[in-house]
């Protein structure tokens, strides 16, 4: 009996100890841990599509070989301002120019995707996007291999440029521009400023010569008509359609993989009608996209000018076109150009009301002049306001806002500017990166009344 009682006591004691052992240990006790130091500098590598827009309204190109500094505030930065140094990783799309190769005029011709825009700055605003994947677009006969810019400032090796051996047509002088004075922007000779034109249908096929002629008839009072390349026979088709009205053309090459071959294509397409050519543009936002270094780009511009001055009949301006920020950071672009050709869109600034677009552009021109120290005329070669798309801060798309924006631009810039764009570009791909506005920059009231 005693033995059984003792055994029961032992079993009870063991059971009680197991219950005690199973209890949470100091459940209200906070385990001691070393506090993590608060970072002053945060490096961000963002694989989610994000668009960085600087205070000048230019989207910062993620492929450009440079580091940007931005300021992040709010909960994402632990409710405090944190200086963030980041190499942009996301992709964007905001430029409007296809790659260039002359093509037969047919409905089956295809064009490449529009290229994105932009620039670096010490101040940026993040705009989230839903996808960083670029649209799959059929390529032209030009190589689709991406250009990898060299980090070296050494000038690119330039091949000797030879003339075509076939008999060339008698070249007409660009004397209608008068005696061109380098550093100035020639008068367009029309009642309205310049305007951008793209010869593509909504299905991305090339417009026929007749379709181009019908378009040009609607914008004949704008001069020059800015082109971006030589594909779809656009150079010869637009010159032929514009010539009866006395409207000038801003001819262009786009492919910086093989600029000298493309320049020969342009010369052949002009076919001696140089009196219709206002300016020859070499590339578009080449440095901004990191396609070439500024020194390489300047070398290409200068060599193209030498070729155009070598007896083909052209005596007008030759320019490289880039964003305001790219030009301010790389004065070589301005130095190599006969006048300073810069793209700028107040809508993408996020801090500009539509009615203040013109004064904002004036401020950007003053900034370029001060930074580059140039006496050359500074011309806005691409600017406008969308009629549809997402709201970007103070930038609100709409027909009424486009009207007041264009009025302000024309009032401050006069005829020495190029409006973007003649018609809605339904062939483009809209994404969150373009705020849903990419297709809808066509000027609704071409009378500008």
Give which of 94, 184, 190, 180 is closest to 410, Cα–Cα. Answer: 190
Q: How far is it, in rounded angstroms, from Cα 55 to Cα 394?
A: 13
Whether 382 is catalytic is yes
Contacts with 25 (C-beta within 8 Å, 6 or more apart), sequence order: none
Which tokens belong to 76?
């994402």
DSSP character at residue 59: B
Give which of 51, 54, 70 is closest to 432, Cα–Cα. Answer: 51
Catalytic, out of 262, 264, 268, 382 = 382
Does residue 76 contact residue 70 with C-beta atoms inside 8 Å? no
Does residue 314 contact residue 334 with C-beta atoms inside 8 Å? no
| Residue showing tokens 């006395």 | 246
Q: How far is it, in rounded angstroms, from Cα 292 to Cα 286?
A: 6
Where helices occur in 202-258 by DSSP H, the ranges are 209-218, 234-242
Length of the chain (residues):
449
Where helices occur in 63-124 by DSSP H, the ranges are none
Q: How far is it, in rounded angstroms, from Cα 102 to Cα 141?
A: 9
**20 — alpha (psi -120 to 50), left (phi > 0) or beta?**
alpha
Q: How far is it, in rounded angstroms, from Cα 286 to Cα 56?
A: 18
DSSP output for 118-164:
----S-EEEEE-S--PPPP----SS--PPP---SS-PPPP-PPP---
Handedness of CA 119, 120, 125, 127 (dihedral sign): positive
3-state SS class at 410: helix
Q: How far is it, in rounded angstroms, from Cα 279 to Cα 295?
A: 22
Q: How far from the centroid of its chain's Cα atoms is residue 434's Cα?
A: 11
Return the active site residues. 382
């Amino acid at each position: 009996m005693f033995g059984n009682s003792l055994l029961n006591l032992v079993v009870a004691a063991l059971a009680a100890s197991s219950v005690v052992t199973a209890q949470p240990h100091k459940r209200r006790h906070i385990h001691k841990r070393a506090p993590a130091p608060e970072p002053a500098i945060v490096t961000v590598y963002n694989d989610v599509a994000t668009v960085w827009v600087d205070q000048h309204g230019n989207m910062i190109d993620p492929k450009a070989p440079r580091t940007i500094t931005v300021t992040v505030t709010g909960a994402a930065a632990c409710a405090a301002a944190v200086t963030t140094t980041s190499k942009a990783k996301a992709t964007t799309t905001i430029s409007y120019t296809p790659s260039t190769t002359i093509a037969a005029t047919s409905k089956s011709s295809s064009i490449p995707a529009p290229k994105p825009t932009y620039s670096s700055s010490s101040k940026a605003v993040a705009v989230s996007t839903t996808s960083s994947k670029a649209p799959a677009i059929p390529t032209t006969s030009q190589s689709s291999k991406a250009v990898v810019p060299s980090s070296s400032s050494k000038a690119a090796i330039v091949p000797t440029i030879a003339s075509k051996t076939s008999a060339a047509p008698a070249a007409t002088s660009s004397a209608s521009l008068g005696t061109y004075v380098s550093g100035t922007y020639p008068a367009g000779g029309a009642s309205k400023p310049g305007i951008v034109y793209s010869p593509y249908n909504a299905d991305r096929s090339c417009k026929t010569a007749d379709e181009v002629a019908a378009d040009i008839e609607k914008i004949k009072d704008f001069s020059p008509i800015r082109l971006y390349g030589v594909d779809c026979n656009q150079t010869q088709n637009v010159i032929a359609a514009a010539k009866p009205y006395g409207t000038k053309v801003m001819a262009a090459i786009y492919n910086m993989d093989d600029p000298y071959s493309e320049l020969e294509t342009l010369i052949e397409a002009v076919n001696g009608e140089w009196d219709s050519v206002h300016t020859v543009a070499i590339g578009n936002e080449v440095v901004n996209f990191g396609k070439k270094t500024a020194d390489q780009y300047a070398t290409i511009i200068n060599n193209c000018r030498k070729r155009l001055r070598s007896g083909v009949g052209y005596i007008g301006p030759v320019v490289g076109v880039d964003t305001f920020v790219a030009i301010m950071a790389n004065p070589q672009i301005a130095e190599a150009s006969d006048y300073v050709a810069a793209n700028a869109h107040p809508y993408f600034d996020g801090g500009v009301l539509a009615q203040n677009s013109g004064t904002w552009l004036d401020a950007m021109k003053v900034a370029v002049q001060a930074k580059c120290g140039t006496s050359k005329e500074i011309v806005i070669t691409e600017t406008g306001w969308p009629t549809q798309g997402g709201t970007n801060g103070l930038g609100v798309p709409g027909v009424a806002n486009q009207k007041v924006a264009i009025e302000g631009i024309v009032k401050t810039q006069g005829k020495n500017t190029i409006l973007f764009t003649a018609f809605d570009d339904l062939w483009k791909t809209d994404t969150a990166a373009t705020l849903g506005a990419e297709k809808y920059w066509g000027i609704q009231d071409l009378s500008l009344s």
